[in-house]
Amino acid sequence: MLKNELKRAFTNKGMLLAILLGQGINLYYIYSLLVQFREKEKNIAQIGEKVGIELYMQISRNTPFDIWIIGHMCQALVLFMYFLPIIATLPYAASYASEKKNGYVKNVIYREGRGRYKINKMIASFISGGTAVVSVLIVNLMWCFTCMPMKMPVACSNAPLADARTMLGVMYYDHPFLYCGLYIVMAFIFAGTISLVSILISELTTNIFTVTLFPFLVLMVLNTLLIEDKGYYLPMQFLRASNSGYKLYLVPLIAVIIIPISVLLFVVCGKKKDIL
């Protein structure tokens, strides 16, 4: 049953739309990056040989890790963080609402059992949502390696990804791939947790748009309320790799709170509706 759920989660139009949306953001980021490089080349040619060489040396100290999309505040990062909930929920979070609407749930529950069906549904939604989001980060990092020479990070970079004075900053300079992997795992967990929230909302409504967009709307409201004084509690901040792990503990904390609650309410809630 789980195998079938995972197959359906990764081979549907929702996953395709999520991938296209994420890679569209990637293309925009790479385009803007190339435009910046082109402008810097023009500046080097115009400002004179001596100053131009100094500017070139600053640029050349950057590494592929330093220009990763979640490393620095830019328009592409803002777009990615705003659309992250939608990318996470598009693949499979609304599948339960759709199956409730067409009556498929009753047939599956009769054959497989309600608890097993719902647990498998949550696992497939969590994995597919997390995969859709981290695919953006992984492909973007690969793009960065094509735009910059392969070099290990150094503390004298013009715009280093992490602060060497922090604990995770030390990890970045000693083990940059491990550092990037940590943020990819955190993004996976956060995206998967968001998808579970949408599945939970499916118990209240079978409207596909409401289920898919609910986490996006919640984060928009939180962004409006917290941006002034508590902005560091927003994904825009604690998922940014350039923050050297600042508030990164919020990701496992959110997961530890939301996942058990979602599992409990989703499996227990709506029991009478499922068997009617």
- 74-125 per-position pLDDT tens digit: 888 889 999 999 999 999 999 999 988 888 887 888 777 888 889 999 999 9
Find the helix or strand (DSSP H, E) in which 181 lies. Answer: helix 176-201
The pLDDT of residue 14:
94
Which residue is listed with tokens 């973007």? 140
The pTM is what? Answer: 0.87
* For range 38-50, the mean pLDDT: 59
Q: How far apart are CA 269 and CA 125, in angstroms?
A: 18
CA distances 33 to 131, 144, 199, Å, are 25, 9, 37
Residue boundaries of the structural domains of the chain: 2-32+65-275
